[in-house]
Amino acid sequence: MSAFNRHLKSVFAVFAAASFLLVPSLGRADDSVTSAGDDRAAPLVSALAEAEPEEARQIVRELQLIWSSSGSSSMDLLLRKGRDAMEREEYDEAVGHFSALIDHAPDFAEAWHLRAMVFFRMEELGLAQADLEQALALNPLNFQAAYGLALVMEETGRIDAAFAGYDAILDLYPAHEAAAEGRQRLVSRVSGSDI
């Protein structure tokens, strides 16, 4: 395991501890369940730390392609159908497609991440949190899932955990605008004092 992967996993482990979650594997995915593409994704995530915003957006697009590749045309079809339903705001249908995908490919982290996004939009925050935890257990490099988890923490009043999550994301990807906005929103509320 590279020094970068150890650092990344320790950042998410800190995030998990700060979140007061009882998910021992969050941020420390077992090598047997890591998402396909980790060998390609790790250097890209590492490059985000120094990337200018435009370059970072390109890297993020590459990461999304890697993380969205299931390796199976039938699984990719379920993924596409779920995304299409989500875009149409047909959330029950989207959950059905992503759930079917998870049933067929339980180690495919992006399916968990996308279903969590749908649950969040449905205001099912507990279900979103559970799916985000699973997505991060399978792919601890996915800063977008970590962002979703930080957002759930914020929405449920766990301000210190949300702040720690936004901070961890910004350590890896300083140009992540939504995490920077989240951190800024919470800076005066963390532990009741300014940072």
Per-residue pLDDT at 19 exceeds 80: no
Give the C-alpha separation, 102 to 75, whole Å.
9
Q: Which helix (H) or strand (E) holds 12?
A: helix 3-18
Q: Over the stretch 94-104, which tens digit does the pLDDT of each residue have? A: 999 999 999 99
pLDDT at 176: 95
Per-residue pLDDT at 14 exceeds 50: no
Nearest-CA neighbor of 154 among 142, 167, 170, 136?
A: 167
Per-residue pLDDT at 177 exceeds 60: yes
Give the C-alpha separation, 114 to 36, whole Å.
16
Q: What is the pTM of this model?
A: 0.81
Give the C-alpha separation, 7 to 66, whole Å.
21
CB 70 within 8 A of CB 76: yes
pLDDT at 38: 67
CB 145 within 8 A of CB 136: yes
Give the residue ranges of DSSP H helices in 19-142: 38-48, 53-67, 73-87, 91-104, 109-121, 125-138
Nearest-CA neighbor of 121 among 164, 72, 85, 161?
A: 85
Q: What Rg, from alpha-carbon coordinates, does the chain have?
A: 16
Decide which of 29 and 42 is more confident: 42
The position carrying tokens 């009741």 is 192
Q: What confidence category does residue 190 fall into, taking pLDDT thresholds of 50, 70 and 90? A: confident
pLDDT at 192: 57
Give the C-alpha separation, 146 to 158, whole Å.
15
- Tell me the CA end-to-end span of the chain in Å, nearest whole number: 34
Return the domain boundaries, the chain. Answer: 3-27+37-189
Token reading at 82: 């779920």
**Domain boundaries 3-27+37-189, corresponding CATH code:** 1.25.40.10
CB 63 within 8 A of CB 44: yes
Q: Residue 81: how many CB atoms within 10 A of its CB? A: 17
The position carrying tokens 């301000």 is 159
